[in-house]
Amino acid sequence: MLIVDTFGPTAVASVRLLALTIERAEVPVRKLFWTAVFVSFAFNLALAQDATKVEPKHYKLAFENDKVQVVYIHYGPHEKSRLHAHPQGVVVNITEAHLLFTDQNGKTQEVYAKEGEARWFPPFRHTVENLGETAYSGVYIAVKGGAAAGSGIKHQPPPLDDQTARILAAYLLGANSDQEAVAASRQ
């Protein structure tokens, strides 16, 4: 009751009113905080769709227009990426490499890239690890839209070669083990 004795009953009522106001204000502040956290998370998730934004060390934009995006790829020996996404497109391997792809569900697929090889890929999200002792370089040519703009005609992706089809099937269906996936890719 020191407050009452020093400042009187009006001051005590004012302090109680202030405390109640602060307590009530905490709910909107909490909501604002969690909204900001959610928006930040959603923004970062949206950025995960573009490898050049998520992994600028490994993916450099070379050219872009309304039809394609051309990206240079480079991984040093044993370098790893964070989760990122690629639209449908073709990768052209400049160098040979032994890579490990891991999808967003943790499924892994070893990939043996051959110098000069070109492969079609559907849209996918993954991490990459260069398992080799040498650097890997490639070029990813992303195809935008999938159909000719305004034509109404749907274009089919180019047919997959046998090895790429087996690798994709094993990767997408989640082969029982990495050895089975590697064996399937070599048949």
| pLDDT over 90 percentage in the chain | 45
The larger pLDDT score, comparing residue 74 to residue 21, is at 74
Check which CATH number belongs to the domain holding 70 and give it. 2.60.120.10
The larger pLDDT score, comparing residue 79 to residue 154, is at 79
Kindly report, residue by residue over 26-40, the tens digit of the pLDDT. 556 666 665 655 555
Mean pLDDT, the chain, whole residue set: 75
Residue 25: domain span: 2-47
Do 160 and 147 share a structural domain?
yes
Instruction: Say which residues have a Cβ less than 8 Å from residue 141's Cβ, sequence separation at least 6.
Output: 68, 69, 70, 71, 89, 90, 91, 92
- Three-state DSSP state, 137: strand
Angstrom CA distances, 31 to 24, 44, 88, stand at 12, 20, 39
**Average pLDDT score over residue span 88-115:** 95
Do 101 and 43 share a structural domain?
no
Do 58 and 39 share a structural domain?
no
Do 56 and 100 share a structural domain?
yes
Do 60 and 38 share a structural domain?
no
Do 126 and 74 share a structural domain?
yes
Can you give the pLDDT at residue 129? 97
How many domains, the chain? Answer: 2
d(CA 146, CA 168): 19
pTM: 0.56
Relative to beta strand 136-143, strand 68-75 is antiparallel
Kindly report, residue by residue over 132-167, the tens digit of the pLDDT. 999 999 999 999 885 433 334 444 555 667 777 677
